[in-house]
A = this chain, B = another copy of it.
Amino acid sequence: MNSSKFLAGRGRERLTPEELILLEDSGSDVQAVEARRTLVRRGEPVCSSMLVIDGFVCRAATDNQMVSLHIPGDFVDLDGFKLKRLDHDVVAIGPVKVTTYSHDALAILSERSRLTEAFWLSSLLDAAIHRAWIFRIGRLEGEARAAHLFCELHARLEMVGLAEDGSFGLPLTQLDLGAALSLTAVHTNRVLRALREQGLLTFRNRQVEIHDRKALAKLGNFDAAYLYASDLNAPSGRPLDG
């Protein structure tokens, strides 16, 4: 598995080919991580950050509240580069592949290129997604809450080519899903059944099939604007030709 495919995620389309090469050369080889492994524990000093290449990685706060869910192309703990420790655990959900970037390497990269801005942008997108999670948990109830999360995941996965026809792999248990939705596993199960019975989506065998994308978005009050997809793919403020 080559990491370069995902280097261009999260607005890094704006980078020049030279910058992308610089970025790729600074990362480690791809490393495999087994499912359920805790990659970073909260509070521990960290000296490197990870780019997800394959699989799903989550960030978990106190009482196992999931606060973030990362897909291939996401840097998981760029926070650690600037803050030197994390305020949450980082856990692989299924089997995962990552590349790591030592903070020393990132520091050198920052000196030599506009990559600092790319990283900042990535952090801003994380923050925007966090805000959507606050809204989801704070204002939507059961079915709508799940619908909103599935819409988000679909949109994000589609941006990196990992969703097709409303269908994508999602190696979460219903307990994991509950941790993200802030619902018990029991209630998550009932919510999934309700969505299935309404013909909106099925989630079985680690595979999501969205049957009615429009209705799902409506139920979940989902507006993808906060993912800034079009902006990121649009030509940047940088002059087009040099």
Contacts and interface: CB of A to CB of B under 8 A. Distances in A.
A134 interface: yes
Interface in A73-88: 79, 82-85, 87-88
Given A123-B123, A126-B127, A135 B228 contact: no
A124 B83 contact: yes
Contacts of A43: 225
Interface in A58-95: 59, 61-63, 65, 67-68, 79, 82-85, 87-88
A131 B131 contact: no
A133 B67 CA distance: 9
**Secondary structure of the A contact surface, majority rule:** helix
A33 interface: no
Nearest to A227: B87
B221 A131 contact: no
B65 A121 contact: no
A170 B85 CA distance: 31
Interface string A113-146: 0001101110110111011111101110000000
Contacts of A223: 62
A134 B83 contact: no
A68 B130 CA distance: 11
A182 interface: yes
Contact of A134 (B67, B126, B128, B228): B67
A197 interface: no
Interface in A200-232: 221, 223, 225-226, 228, 231
Contact of A221 (B62, B84, B128, B134): B62
Given A65-B138, A134-B65, A116 B126 contact: no
Given A116-B116, A123-B127, A137-B137, 13 more contacts: A61-B135, A65-B138, A67-B131, A82-B121, A83-B124, A83-B231, A87-B128, A88-B131, A110-B117, A116-B120, A133-B134, A137-B138, A138-B182
